[in-house]
A and B are shown apart, each in its own frame.
Chain A
Amino acid sequence: MEFGKFLAAPEYKVTIVTYRDIFQSAVMEGSRFSEEYLKLSAVIRMDAGDIKKLGVKEGDTAVVRNDSGKVIVRVGSSGYDASHQGIAYMPNSPWSNVLLSADTGGSGVPRYKGIEAVVSSAKGESVTGVDGFLENTMKH
């Protein structure tokens, strides 16, 4: 893993909120293993200003990581007019779930709508593929 490359890129702290997307949900009904499901799931939607700060463009790949795990996804704009600096959105999917902490404070409810993570450019890297989820561990 060329980790040094990621460390050299600007890092940006975000709180990730997961959400439902009807197009992604519909594709999941057909196949969870399809390219289309990956395309609609492996994305982080950010504030336009935050994307600039990261030094990436929409469609570029970014690594999103925290103590729980790491995924490479595409960067997209949230499209919201109101600024939401530091808040990013990911469709609820195996990709966002890699970033969820095992610590629920004993409540049994993971923080699906408040994941603390760090984003940095992964230019040239491929999005984490479905095969990754079938490995025995994704902890890095």
Chain B
Amino acid sequence: MVTLLNENYHVCTGCALLCDDIEVVTGSGRITEVKTACRKGVARMKGCSEPMSPTVDGQEVDIDNAIGAAAGILSNARSPLVFGLGNSTNMAQKKAIELAKRIGAVIDDTSSFCQGPTLEAIFNENIRSTTLDDVRNKADVIVYWGADASNSHPRHFSKYSYFPRGQERQRGWEEDRIMITIDIRRSHTAKISGDKFYQIPLQADAEFIDALIDALSGKVPKVSFGFDIKRILELANILKKARFGTIFVGLGLVYSIDNMDPVVKLMDKLNEMSNFHLIPMVGHYNMRGFNQNLFNETGYLNRVKFEKGDSTDVQHGAEFSIVETLNNKAADAALVIGSDPLSSLPRVIAEHLLNIPVITIDPCETFTSRKAKVTIPSALSGVECGGSAIRMDGVEVKFEPIIETNRPPDEEILTRIMEAL
């Protein structure tokens, strides 16, 4: 559990780094200034310019009517889908899981098409992970693999990985840390790595891992693409000597491999000779919380189907992913919480949402909300409501509301929907 270092500090819910050193200035019921946060965090905390209103069929209604209409849709649905929750607190997520059980829904989140495999390997203890605090205090070798933290988590380097003078790394990046980037392009993150940037072709990650494992095993590495073998040997040598190494995995790596086997194999090899950990670069502030909460409840972190009226009947598999559920037109209603699938999913797949009644719970208007049958505005968590969340490294972070709102938190909306079922 993270303890805030200063009573004036707040937590940013802009991403799963959950920066806990944010100072704000408030006025007229809004946050007018945000200090310390990154560009995205500032934008998140200041709020959107298009707050959502309670509506049914495009007509503004009071929130009780919107909640009643949502309950009506979910009561009548034979195969409802519950999706999102990466921007909800732990308590709201637990409530959504309870609701999914009650109505016999498929429940899934964005991890289904991003960091799910990495988190699954960590939850099942196939890969050793660590905390960002240990990275700050101990890590001497840091690898960003298919991850561009400069754009996804801009404070990652300064708060935890590369620049801090941690307990055992008092000379910081100048002498005490080596930062490596492996990617298909010279991203902003790769630029920070300087000559420790290893550029590989698209979809070549598994082959590069094999070559690296060979190099670590004392064999001559081989790759089918043009790459200076001496550089692979040099990289293997750095990794081998690490006293506390951490690989930060981005979607560039996750999308490039069919499953986590190559990564597990590499981690096992590295841990035969040094001390390596892996942390996924989780995007949404509490996606990992959802995965942990569902895993605790069912043994699966996403892609779950509950059977109505039988809380012990839990099915899991790719067919219960949001992508395949919509692709197979298997949902006849959808409850979307803090997410915008019409914007983030392949358009041809998301279009099924236009043919079924959709309920959105969100502080702001989204592409999905504009086409939804029912919209229910909620408080922006971390700003307008408190709670707790799980950081990308699995550490729980608590936060308090900063400003008041009359919009209820997700948890309360879900409770009221359940009461009205």
Q: What is the CB-to-nearest-CB distance from B350 to chain A, in angstroms, rounded to a whole number?
A: 8
Chain A's closest residue to B343 (CB) is A94
- Are A20 and B323 in contact, with the CB atoms below 8 A? no
> Taking CB as reference atom, which chain A residue is nearest B320?
A108
Contact of B30 with A by CB under 8 A: no
B271 within 8 A of A: no
Chain B nearest Cβ from A14, distance in angstroms: 11
Q: Judge whether A31 and B150 touch: CB under 8 Å.
A: no
A19, B151: Cβ atoms under 8 Å?
A: yes
In the assembled complex, 11 residue pairs joining A and B whose CB atoms fall closer than 8 Å, in A order, are A26-B40, A30-B49, A31-B49, A32-B343, A68-B348, A69-B347, A87-B202, A98-B347, A102-B348, A108-B319, A112-B251
Q: Is the C-beta of A97 less than 8 angstroms from some C-beta in chain B? A: yes
Q: DSSP majority for the B interface? A: helix
A residues near B324, Cβ cutoff 8 Å: 104, 106, 108
Question: B392: CB under 8 A from chain A?
Answer: no
Query: What is A's interface to B at a CB cutoff of 8 Å?
Result: 15, 17, 19-23, 25-27, 29-34, 68-69, 78, 80-82, 84, 87, 89, 92-94, 97-98, 100-102, 104, 106-114, 133-134, 136-139
Cα(A78)–Cα(B187), bound, Å: 10
- B151–A15 CB distance below 8 A: no
Q: How far is the CA of A133 from the CA of B354 in the complex (A)?
A: 11
B407 is an interface residue with CB less than 8 A from chain A: no
Known: A30-B43, A106-B318. A15 touches B202 (CB 8 A): yes
Check: B398 CB closer than 8 A to any chain A CB.
no
Does B171 belong to the interface (CB within 8 Å)?
no
Q: Is the CB of A110 within 8 A of B323?
A: yes
Contacts known (A102-B327, A108-B323); A32 close to B371, Cβ less than 8 A: no
Say yes or no: is B48 at the interface (Cβ < 8 Å to chain A). Answer: yes
Q: For residue B268, give the distance in angstroms from its CB to the closest CB of chain A.
A: 24
In the assembled complex, the CB of A37 is this many whole angstroms from the nearest CB of chain B, namely 10
Instruction: Tell me if A20 and B151 are in contact (CB < 8 A).
Output: yes
Q: Residue of A at shortest CB range from B44? A: A29
Residues of the A chain whose Cβ atoms lie less than 8 Å from the Cβ of B48: 29-31
User: Could you tell me how many residues of chain B have their Cβ less than 8 Å away from some Cβ of chain A?
Assistant: 54
Q: State whether A26 touches B42 (Cβ < 8 A).
A: yes
What's the Cα separation between A138 and B319 when bound, in Å? 25
Flag if A32 contacts B367 (CB, 8 Å).
yes
Residues of B with Cβ closer than 8 Å to A? 14, 38-40, 42-44, 46, 48-50, 112-113, 148, 150-152, 154, 184-187, 199, 202-203, 251-252, 255-256, 303, 318-319, 321-324, 327, 340, 342-351, 354, 365-367, 370-371
Are B255 and A32 in contact, with the CB atoms below 8 A?
no
Q: Please name all residues of chain A whose beta carbon is closer than 8 Å to the beta carbon of B340 when the two chains form the complex.
A: 32
**Most chain-B CB neighbours within 10 Å: which of A23, A82, A114, A133?**
A133
* Known contacts A21-B151, A29-B48; is-contact A138 B347 (Cβ 8 Å): yes
With a CB–CB cut-off of 8 A, which chain A residues contact B366?
Answer: 32
Other contacts beyond A32-B343, A97-B343, A109-B323: 6, CB < 8 A: A33-B50, A33-B365, A68-B348, A94-B347, A108-B322, A133-B343
Chain B residues with Cβ under 8 A from A138's Cβ? 347, 351
Q: Is B150 touching A104 in the complex (CB atoms < 8 A)?
A: no
Report whether B151 and A25 are in contact in the complex, using a CB–CB cutoff of 8 Å: yes
Min CB gap B379→A, angstroms:
16
Q: Tell me if A25 and B346 are in contact (CB < 8 A).
A: no
Q: Give which listed residue, A82, A97, A108, A139, contacts B303 with CB less than 8 A.
A: A108
* C-alpha gap A134/B365 in the complex (Å): 13
**CB-based closest 10 A-B pairs:** A108-B321, A100-B346, A29-B43, A26-B43, A26-B39, A108-B318, A22-B151, A113-B255, A108-B323, A102-B348
B41 to chain A, nearest CB (A): 9
Q: A70 CB to closest chain B CB, in angstroms?
A: 10
CB atoms of A82 and B186 under 8 A apart: yes
Q: What's the nearest-Cβ distance from chain B to residue A51, in Å?
A: 16
Q: Which residue of the partner chain A has the closest CB to B366? A: A32
Q: How far is the CB of A8 from chain B (nearest CB, A)?
A: 27
Assess the A20–B348 pair: CB atoms within 8 A. Answer: no
A93 contacts B113, CB within 8 Å? no
Point out which of A29, A80, A98, A110 has the most chain B C-beta atoms below 10 A from its C-beta. A29
**Chain A positions within 8 Å of B150 at CB level:** 22
Which residues of chain A are within 8 angstroms of B42 by Cβ–Cβ distance?
26
Q: Which residues of B contact A87 (CB under 8 A)?
A: 184, 202
